[in-house]
Amino acid sequence: MIRNITQKERISSIRDKRFIILGSIILILLLTSAATGIINYRVLAAERKLAQSTATENFNNQPDRHPHRVAHYGSYAFRPKSVLSFLDFGLDSYTGTMVYLEAHQQNSANFSQVQQSGAMIRFGEMTIAFVMQWLIPLLIIFLCFNTFTLEHEEGTLKVLLSQGVSMKAIAKAKLLGYIHVISMIIFPAFFFVFLFVLSMNNFLLDGDLLLRTAVFMLTYLLYFFIFITGSILISAVNKHSRTALVTLLGIWIFSIVLMPKALSNLGSSFYEEPSKAAMDASVHEESKNGIDGHDPLDKRLAQFKQGLLEKYQVDSLSQLPVNVDGLIMALGEESSSQIYQEHFDELVAIYEDQNRLSVWAGFINPYLAIRNISMSMAGTDFFHYVDFLNAAEKYRYALTQHLNNLQATKVAHKDKTTRLSADIYATYPPFYYKGPAFTKALANVAVSIVALAFWTALIYGLIILTMNKKKNLI
Amino acid sequence: MKQLRILLHFEWLNFKKEKSLVAFCLLMLLSGMYGIFSGDYEIKKQRNKIAGLDEIYQSNIKEMAEKFPDSADAGDIGYYHAAFAKNHPDNWAALAIGQRDVSPAYLKIRLLAVQNQLYNSENTNPLKLATGSFDLSFVMVFLLPLFIIAISFNLLSAEKEQGTLRLLLAQPLKLATLFMAKVIFRFLIISTVVLLLFAIALLWTGATPDLRALYWILVVLLYATFWLGTSCAIAALQRSSAFNAISLLGVWLLLAVIAPVLINAATDISKPVQEGLQLTMVQREAVHGGWDKPKAETMDGFFKHYPEYTNTGSVEGAFKWKWYYAFQELGDRSVETLYKAYRQKMLDRLSLASNLSVVSPPAKLQEVLNGIAGTDLQQHLDFIAGTKAYHEELKAFYYPYLYQDRAFQHVDFAKEPQYSFTAAPDYTKAASGIVVLLAANVLVSLLAIFMFKTNTKELK
């Protein structure tokens, strides 16, 4: 009997014109978004790779220069596109792509996609994640909203129940039937996605990539399960198809269109971030006067110089075996970088506070949970972005200190004109960035994964409970 | 006429009784009010950031006085001192944040080469940016159509499904009149909600009710009639309420989500921007290359643009600021064509997106609302161009000190040029948007009339 019901749902769905049309539209959109995602990835990845190699080439082929000139000439960090970013652009279009790395100051990441676009980009982006997060739930709603109400309206439910089948059994059978139906769209789509992922990586098997893809797909399956079960549940508790549909559409609009925006705006009104100018001014102030204002840099430098003179037992700085200019520069860089890092970490903490509301709301709204997991697996979420910024700053600091060290050891005191051979600079390794490992990305979205699992259990429990209660009501 | 009044009266009674309709109105009003509050809050935040700049500016001036007691070399001032170009939001910006949240509200400007100072970003939370602003424009563009659909998807089907349509039509009453009465009633409800929210927005944000208000009301009401027309066209098919709801949501999804998303993808793919990255890298090579070129060559290049300083003192020997600023200047000039190309590319992207958006009234409305509020990319590009011109003013202020070998007095800071920009509303965009929406209205009305004519026969 159960198998019959399951089969009936499957066959009637496939025979339904709605399903054929909507299903094909979704498949076409999935392929379109895969295509745009891949083109977008290829264009941007190539652009940044070229820019990074040009920057390296320029750096390695610069004329003979004084080390401190090179420190000002600096370098660039371009954020490489993650391979899976074609699945979900996430925050990629909203984050800067290039950081200019120079001595003495930390620059902002510039040239984000959104800063170079008009109003249209704010409507969203054509990605596989968009189709799966927004459109497939709608398809599910359209398919399932009248699964019980129609039987109710046409009187077939009574007939079924009179055969001795319980409501719970019918619901389970229907659930199974719709899972079959949706699978007919999802699995071919996932198969293509998997092929694309492999081809993006030149068919080399990479554990990190495969694990990310697997979690990406598995969590989407849970997301769809939640919508299928939820739609059947709403259909079972409503008498009319009209009310079931309107309720489901209302839920869809509320959780996908309205709530994410409201929460993220609310979060940012609770916690205010400082402007970049104010942050830079504080860093400048604190490095000049000491964090508490009582330990000015000038005083520290004087002490440092005095200490050197005593240590090497000489009368003047020019008699020192090392060039004090480089050491002073290194000292200043060390203190200002430390202070900057503290401010930057504070800023990141403020952003995390702003975003916390949206993360925990995953327990109320599964869309928010899947959005986080999806971005994280694609390597395009906030965590991955901050990791890149930190890597860029780390490289900037190391390069600057390397150059200060060259100045301390290879150039004489007060000498501002000697040029070191370019070969010395060319040996310094270029900026290379590899994103965080799968495990770190996964740990970062643990809350969202728990939220999604919670929803899966909750919705299944709810449907079983409701059906048990409904045993003889109809 | 009297019949129409009676029908409207009964619609009103019906409306008051139907809890869900009242709830939709309240929900719309609440969302609108949150949108107004949230947009205003965002603008207040930006104003706070701009206001904080004065203190930074003043403390920098104080630091200059400490660092260089008595008078200073203008070269040192140009290097260690920064001024701010400010992009003040108009009160109207609170109604449509547009691209103001992604573009910085100010730029920190030093006398050094300007090209790598124009594209710096502000501290922003990318998740917030990606999720987007919940402002009044979002409420109008996205939620207003959903509200219209919610109160009119069962325009006729509800009466039909309740069996009251036959009773009504048994009276000496034309279906067309009944239909019109229902549409007019809904239009009245929608315009009341829209106008009420608009009035609250003006009061709350202090936006001046000038010509912009007229444009705003016109364009939003045209948008509302477009969606009402679409609902009528679907309702005229005389199908079930569920069919209407699905079809209307499908149209909404297509026009408000999928079309703009595809337009954006098309813009990105057909007009990718690399010019920004190139510009900064080429400029860096040019500026830093200045250190390695013969000084005379640099100065000759500089004097071509500033013949008035030709007889300034020699730059040979020890480091001289005037030589330094000369190669900064030449660095900027070397990327002038790239700068123009970059700007042009962004304008091209904007106009391509704008042309494509004629197929999507929601995209058009967003563009118009941003244009009215002065918050689109176009206005930010104007600010960048203005900042570049401001840098010219700063040079005109500082160069005489540098190249006529005059000491800079700290009191001279009082004469330093300042720059505040406030975007002007883009009426051309608003006007063209109105034309597009008018055309969409005509199209959808014709469609509705056609549907009505072909489907009423079946009913009888």
pLDDT tens readout for residues B365-399: 999 999 999 999 999 999 999 999 999 999 999 99
Say how many CA atoms lie within 13 Å of A126 toward its Cβ: 29
Contact (CB, 8 A) for B423 and B381: no
DSSP conformation class of A72: H
pLDDT in tens, A408-465: 999 988 888 889 998 999 999 999 999 999 999 999 999 999 999 999 999 999 999 9
pLDDT at A229: 97
The whole-number average pLDDT for the span B413-426 is: 96
- Domain total for chain A? 1
Task: Please state, in angstroms and rounded to a whole number, the distance separating the CA atoms of residues B393 and B380.
Answer: 20
**Which of B139-156 are b and which e, b meaning 16 or more Cβ less than 10 Å from the residue's Cβ?**
bbbbbbbbbbbbbbbbbb
A261:B133 CB<8 A: yes
Residue whose C-alpha is closest to residue B231's, from B162, B314, B145: B145
User: Nearest C-alpha of chain A: how many angstroms from B198?
Assistant: 20
Which B residues, 71 through 110, put their C-beta within 8 Å of a C-beta on chain A? 84, 98-99, 102-104, 106, 108
Cα separations in angstroms, A214 against A209, A282, A323, A336: 9, 45, 56, 43
Contact (CB, 8 A) for A401 and A333: yes
Q: Has residue A471 got a pLDDT over 90? A: no
A123:B257 CB<8 A: yes
B127:A273 CB<8 A: no
The sign of the dihedral angle between the CA atoms of A141, B225, A257, B433 is: positive
Considering only the beta carbons, identify the residue of B56, B98, B120 that sits closest to A281: B56
Contact (CB, 8 A) for B433 and B365: yes
Task: Please state, in angstroms and rounded to a whole number, the distance separating the CA atoms of residues B301 and B289.
Answer: 14
The whole-number average pLDDT for the span A116-137 is: 93
Considering only the beta carbons, identify the residue of B246, B319, B353 that sits closest to A142: B246
pLDDT in tens, A296-329: 888 888 888 888 888 888 888 888 888 998 999 9
Contact (CB, 8 A) for B248 and B149: yes
Token pair for A469: 């209660």
Contact (CB, 8 A) for B88 and B367: no
User: Nearest C-alpha of chain A: how many angstroms from B186?
Assistant: 19
Q: Which phi and psi angles does B120 have, rounded to 5°?
A: -65, 150
B121:A65 CB<8 A: no
pLDDT at B452: 84
Considering only the beta carbons, identify the residue of B132, B249, B261 that sits closest to A130: B261
The bridge status of strand B71-72 relative to strand B408-409 is antiparallel
In a domain? residue B286? no
ipTM above 0.90, yes or no: yes
Amino acid, single-letter form, for residue A449: I
The whole-number average pLDDT for the span B56-63 is: 96
Higher pLDDT, A182 or A12: A182
In chain A, which residue's Cα lies nearest the Cα of B34? A262
Q: Tell me how far the alpha carbon of residue A6 is from its chain's centroid.
A: 38
Residues of A in contact with B121 (CB under 8 A): 96, 108-110, 112, 115, 276
Give the list of residues 6+ apart from residue A372 with CB closer than 8 angstroms, or none: A358, A359, A362, A381, A445, A448
pLDDT in tens, B306-330: 999 998 888 888 899 999 999 999 9
Residue whose C-alpha is closest to residue A94's, from A76, A71, A115, A123: A115
Mutation to test the A interface, candidates B18, B37, B125, most A Cβ within 10 Å: B125
Q: Tell me how far the alpha carbon of residue B426 is from its chain's centroid.
A: 10
How many CB atoms lie under 10 A from the CB of residue B300? 12
Higher pLDDT, A219 or A155: A219
In chain A, which residue's Cα lies nearest the Cα of B360? A120
Say how many CA atoms lie within 13 Å of A156 toward its Cβ: 10
Helix ranges (H only) for A63-105 are 67-73
Per DSSP, chain A holds a count of helices (H) and strands (E) of: 19, 3
Which B residues, 139 through 158, put their C-beta within 8 Å of a C-beta on chain A? 142-143, 146, 150, 154
User: Nearest C-alpha of chain B: how many angstroms from A34?
Assistant: 12
Considering only the beta carbons, identify the residue of A95, A115, A118 that sits closest to B350: A118
Average pLDDT of chain B to the nearest whole number:
92
B202 — contact with chain A (CB < 8 Å)?
Answer: no
Q: Where is average pLDDT lowest: A160-164, A237-241, B148-152? A: A160-164
- Domain total for chain B? 1
Considering only the beta carbons, identify the residue of A119, A275, A351 that sits closest to B52: A275
Give the list of residues 6+ apart from residue A203 with CB closer than 8 angstroms, or none: none
Q: Has residue B283 got a pLDDT over 60? A: yes
User: Nearest C-alpha of chain B: how many angstroms from A170?
Assistant: 24
Task: Please state, in angstroms and rounded to a whole number, the distance separating the CA atoms of residues B216 and B220.
Answer: 6
Q: Has residue B275 got a pLDDT over 60? A: yes
User: Nearest C-alpha of chain A: how many angstroms from B46?
Assistant: 9
Q: pTM of this prediction?
A: 0.93
Task: Please state, in angstroms and rounded to a whole number, the distance separating the CA atoms of residues B405 and A315.
Answer: 38
B138:A261 CB<8 A: yes
pLDDT at B460: 46
Contact (CB, 8 A) for B369 and B219: yes
Considering only the beta carbons, identify the residue of A36, A98, A355 that sits closest to B269: A36
Q: Quick one: what percent of chain B has pLDDT higher than 70?
A: 99
- pLDDT grade, residue B172 (50/70/90)? confident
B54 — contact with chain A (CB < 8 Å)?
Answer: no
Q: Which phi and psi angles does A296 have, rounded to 5°?
A: -60, 150
pLDDT at A18: 75
Task: Please state, in angstroms and rounded to a whole number, the distance separating the CA atoms of residues A115 and A94.
Answer: 8
Cα separations in angstroms, A89 against A34, A81, A376, B302: 11, 10, 10, 45
In a domain? residue B257? yes
pLDDT in tens, B108-147: 999 999 999 999 999 999 999 999 999 999 999 999 999 9
User: Nearest C-alpha of chain A: how many angstroms from B242?
Assistant: 5
Burial level of A304, CB count in 10 A (0-12/13-18/19+)? middle
Contact (CB, 8 A) for B248 and B230: yes
A123:B122 CB<8 A: no
A114:B161 CB<8 A: no
Burial level of A292, CB count in 10 A (0-12/13-18/19+)? exposed
Contact (CB, 8 A) for A463 and A175: yes
B355 — contact with chain A (CB < 8 Å)?
Answer: no
In chain A, which residue's Cα lies nearest the Cα of B139? A258
Contact (CB, 8 A) for B358 and B82: no
B273 — contact with chain A (CB < 8 Å)?
Answer: yes
Q: Where is average pLDDT lowest: A80-94, A146-160, B93-107, B394-408? A: A146-160
In a domain? residue B263? yes
A134:B138 CB<8 A: no
How many CB atoms lie under 10 A from the CB of residue A433? 14
Considering only the beta carbons, identify the residue of B102, B119, B257 that sits closest to A124: B257
B254 — contact with chain A (CB < 8 Å)?
Answer: no
- List, as own/partner pairs, every contact residues B448-454 make where C-beta atoms lie below 8 angstroms and the sequence separation is at least 24, other chains included: B448/B229, B448/B230, B448/B232, B448/B233, B448/B236, B451/B233, B451/B234, B451/B236, B451/B237, B452/B176, B452/B179, B452/B232, B452/B236
Q: Has residue A473 got a pLDDT over 60? A: no
A117:B264 CB<8 A: yes
Task: Please state, in angstroms and rounded to a whole number, the distance separating the CA atoms of residues A61 and B127.
Answer: 39
DSSP conformation class of A86: G
Burial level of B295, CB count in 10 A (0-12/13-18/19+)? middle
Residues of B in contact with A277 (CB under 8 A): 49, 52-53, 56, 84, 106, 108
User: Nearest C-alpha of chain B: how many angstroms from A474?
Assistant: 23
Task: Please state, in angstroms and rounded to a whole number, the distance separating the CA atoms of residues A159 and A167.
Answer: 12
- pLDDT grade, residue B19 (50/70/90)? confident
Domain that holds residue A383: 2-470
Residues of A in contact with B45 (CB under 8 A): 272
Residue whose C-alpha is closest to residue B422's, from B135, B85, B96: B85
Q: Has residue B61 got a pLDDT over 80? A: yes
Residues of A in contact with B256 (CB under 8 A): 123
Cα separations in angstroms, B164 against B83, B167, B168, B360: 72, 5, 6, 37
Amino acid, single-letter form, for residue A8: K
In a domain? residue B312? no
In a domain? residue B46? yes
B264:A145 CB<8 A: no
Q: Where is average pLDDT lowest: B13-17, B107-111, B241-245? A: B13-17
Cα separations in angstroms, B285 against A67, B47, B118: 16, 36, 17
Which B residues, 379 through 438, put their C-beta within 8 Å of a C-beta on chain A? none
Considering only the beta carbons, identify the residue of A94, A97, A119 that sits closest to B98: A119
Cα separations in angstroms, B214 against A231, A384, A426, B257: 44, 46, 63, 27
Residues of A in contact with B291 (CB under 8 A): 65, 69
Give the list of residues 6+ apart from residue A450 with CB closer than 8 angstroms, or none: none
In chain A, which residue's Cα lies nearest the Cα of B46? A275
User: Nearest C-alpha of chain B: how many angstroms from A313?
Assistant: 32
Token pair for B292: 């390695």
Considering only the beta carbons, identify the residue of A257, A265, A272 that sits closest to B38: A265
Cα separations in angstroms, B63 against A295, B87, B195, B201: 17, 25, 52, 43
Helix (H, G, I), strand (E, B) or coil at B420: strand
Considering only the beta carbons, identify the residue of A264, A275, A381 that sits closest to B131: A264
The bridge status of strand A106-110 relative to strand B71-72 is unpaired
The sign of the dihedral angle between the CA atoms of A387, A389, A392, A394 is: negative
B131:A260 CB<8 A: yes
Give the list of residues 6+ apart from residue B7 with CB closer than 8 angstroms, or none: B177, B178, B181, B182, B185
In a domain? residue B33? yes
